[in-house]
Amino acid sequence: MLPVDTIQEEELAFISTPVLALLARFLPERTALSLEAWHVDEAAAAITLHVTSTQASVPCPLCHVQTPRVHSRYTRTLADLPWGAYAVRVPLRVRTVFCDNPTCPRQIFTERLPTVAAPWARRTTRLSQLLSAFGVALGGEAGARLVARVRLPISPTTLLRLIRAAPVPAASAPQVLGVDEWAWRRGQRYGTILVNLENHQVLDLLPERSAESVAAWLAQHPTVRVVCRDRSALYAEGIRRGAPQAVQVVDRFHLVKNLREAVEAFLHGQRPALQAAAAHTAQALTQMAGSGSVTSMYRGRRQCSHVAQQRLEAEQQQRHAAWVTTSEAIHTLHAEGTPVTTIAQQLGLSRPTV
């Protein structure tokens, strides 16, 4: 492509028209915006798109009456989705408009473009949605680090603010509900988490772990027909109060836990029989040891086990000798009046270890 200064005005106009038409396809909203000019800043790796609103009439944000009368114009700059390695800035020229409704308390208002950007926003709606998705998936710090790699520098605090401002998705009426405890602060304060088990979506977080709070929540959601819970008597009572029509089932984790405890209790009661079976098995193996093949097999296993045991004991002795040497050095330095921090630095140990 030739430099701009080598192109005649007629050629530049011929080239710019199709380029503008092509670039207009990438605007946030093609029906309400018109691309007037564009500029590429190679030094800053940025693309600037000068855009103007094309709405014929504008509704008042209070009374919603359409009006075409323009009061003045001003430019607001928006950040948009990056184009590859280039950041995109959109200077958007919009209007302030008179309200023709005589009963409306607002006489002059600013033109709104809800499909492009929210009022007073500094970035387009689609860019805010993308940043919010990064924040929901990764959180503030990790999301900010990844977003910076795609030419969208943003602070972790701003990313979290976008998450909080995002609309909460509408939840369907739950029919299969999961109830369990969760920790506000582990070991000190617990609440209750309620999950829609059909789509694994968290429905609510109750501030406490009580039958009253669960019953109150279930009373507001009469569509629940199955509740999966743990073995808590509090939750059982709350479910009976708030959703007497619901079937209570145990979750898989506690079902396996119940099975394990039942098997352990049964085996503890059968300890004499197990000991007798073990003695009988040992006696049978001793009788089989008379054959040569079995004897050689067990002899080989005993030799391998003996070698492994010797190697393990040698490693333990080496580690013990190293720690004895280190302990003696620590006590020697301490007896000489050396500070604990200095001892840790000299021996390459942590201060708590010293």
Q: What is the DSSP string of 139-157?
A: -HHHHHHHHHHTT----HH
Task: Give the residue-averaged pLDDT of 73-93.
Answer: 90
**Tell me: the pLDDT tens digits for 58-77?**
889 888 888 888 889 989 99
Q: What is the pLDDT of residues 264-320, one digit of tens each?
A: 989 888 888 888 888 888 887 777 665 555 555 556 566 666 677 778 888 888 888
Grouping H, G, I as helix, E, B as strand and the rest as coil, residue 124 is: coil
Determine phi and psi for 28, rounding to 5 degrees.
Answer: -60, -35
State the pLDDT at residue 20. 72
Q: What does the alpha-carbon distance between residue 60 and residue 62 come to, in Å, rounded to a whole number?
A: 5
179-215 core/surface letters (b: 16 or more CB in 10 A; e: else): bbeeeeeeeeeebbbbbbeeeeeeebebeebbbebbb
Helix (H, G, I), strand (E, B) or coil at 276: helix
Residue 184 has pLDDT above 50, yes or no: yes
Q: In terms of Cα–Cα distance, which of 197, 140, 145, 209 is closest to 172?
A: 197
Query: What integer is the mean pLDDT of 229-238?
Result: 88
What pLDDT, on the 0 to 100 scale, is given for residue 303?
63
Phi/psi of residue 86, each to 5°? -110, 130
Quick: pLDDT tens for 190-223: 899 999 998 888 888 998 888 999 999 999 999 9
| CB distance 226 to 250 below 8 Å | no
The Cα-based distances of 46 to 4, 42, 49, 83, 86 in angstroms read 18, 7, 10, 9, 5
Task: Please tell me the distance from the alpha carbon of residue 227 to that of residue 192, in angstroms, as a whole number.
Answer: 14
Please write the tens of the pLDDT for every residue from 18-32: 777 777 778 888 788
Cα separations in angstroms, 66 against 8, 9, 72, 136: 44, 41, 17, 38
Res 17: pLDDT: 62
